[in-house]
Amino acid sequence: MFILSDLYRVSIGVGNRVLTPRMKQIVKWDHPAGMKYIHFWAPLMKWSLVGAGFGDMLRPANKLSLNQSISLFATGATWSRYSMVIVPKNYMLFAVNIFLAFVGGQQVARIAHYRYTHLETPNEKEKQI
């Protein structure tokens, strides 16, 4: 169950031994928000949400969840404002959340367009709500 965390710890140990001090300086290995700590990897994983959202562009619009798209847009918009307000300013977080807001907004627009153009049968209307 803890295989991933062991793997992570082992690779950090390997990195500590293999990298030269000059290389460590270049990649900021010992920085408190660097590659050794969760402060780096967690915001980086937020890009996977953007990627998944892009991948969802291939899905037909009636297979998208409206609730999820709205909440993605809201969280992207809120955090992109707050990442510029906190000290220190976090440009990476700003970028991720701007993209997330765009992806969420694009999904909402697709769903809205689909529902606007496909409201013929009462069966469809039932399924949508």
Partner 1 sequence: FNTNFSTHFWGPVANWGLPLAALADLKKDPEIISPKMTVALCFYSMLFMRFALQVKPKNRLLFACHFANECAQLMQLARFLNHKYGTPKPMKQYQVPSDLVQSK
Q: Which of 6, 20, 22, 67 binds partner 1 (CB under 8 A)?
A: 67
55-63, long-range: CB < 8 A, 24+ apart: 56/107, 57/106, 61/110, 61/111, 61/113, 61/114, 62/114, 62/118
Burial class (CB in 10 A: 0-12, 13-18, 19+), 53: buried
Footprint on residues 5-44 left by partner 1 (CB under 8 A): 37-39, 41-42
Closest CB 76 distance from partner 1, rounded Å: 9
Q: What is the closest distance, in whole angstroms, from the C-beta atom of residue 82 to partner 1 in the complex?
A: 4
Write out the residues near partner 1 by the rule CB under 8 A: 37-39, 41-42, 45-46, 48-49, 51-53, 55-56, 59, 63-65, 67-68, 70-72, 74-75, 77-79, 82, 85-86, 127
